[in-house]
Amino acid sequence: MSVNIRIWVEIAHQPAYRAGGWAYVLAEGGARSGAAGGERSAEAGRIALAGLAQALAATPAGAVVVVRSASPAVLAIPKRLAAAETEPPEEDLDLWAPLTKALAARQVRFAPDTAQLRTPSAFAAAWADLARDKAKTKPFRAIIPKANLDKVALPA
């Protein structure tokens, strides 16, 4: 039996500082979890790969996963994956390897979302902003507290 999981992944990137942050909210039934992180000296594409890799690592193999995002960098990942089949990537190999392995072990579908107020995408975007700001000085990673996640209104 497959596990149905919804993940909202958002990123925040500041080109001037070359710092970026990612965050995700994961919903499996009524249970919620999430994390945020960020790093310096990274492009938006790398931040998107890192956020998705961390989110998928929190799911079991064999799961049916829907990844929703308002971030163009996250939504571009399927195209980047298709392009990688004919022309392997030369950058961010430390992220491509685990991400490719995680995607092969799960049924993943990507869907656009909007970061409207009180949505999981808006919540993840706010945490991604925080992660980006924290990452300006050093790498950052944190689990989103359950008390905060319980305030997120999950769509039906």
DSSP per-residue letters across 25-90? EEEETTEEEEEEEEEES--HHHHHHHHHHHHHHTS-TT-EEEEEES-HHHHTHHHHHHHHHHS--S
User: Is 32 part of any domain?
Assistant: yes
Q: What is the pTM (predicted TM-score) of this model?
A: 0.93
- The answer to whether position 155 is within a domain reads no
Domain membership of residue 16 (yes or no) is: yes
Residue 120: what residue type?
Answer: P
List the domain range (segments joined by +) for residue 94.
4-149
Over residues 109-148, the pLDDT tens digits come to 999 998 888 899 999 999 999 999 999 999 999 999 999 9
* Residue corresponding to tokens 């998928």: 56
Question: Domain total for the chain?
Answer: 1
Tens digit of pLDDT for each residue in 93-104? Answer: 889 889 999 999
Write the CATH number for 52. 3.30.420.10
Question: Considering the domain boundaries, does residue 21 fall inside one?
Answer: yes
Residue 111 lies in a domain: yes
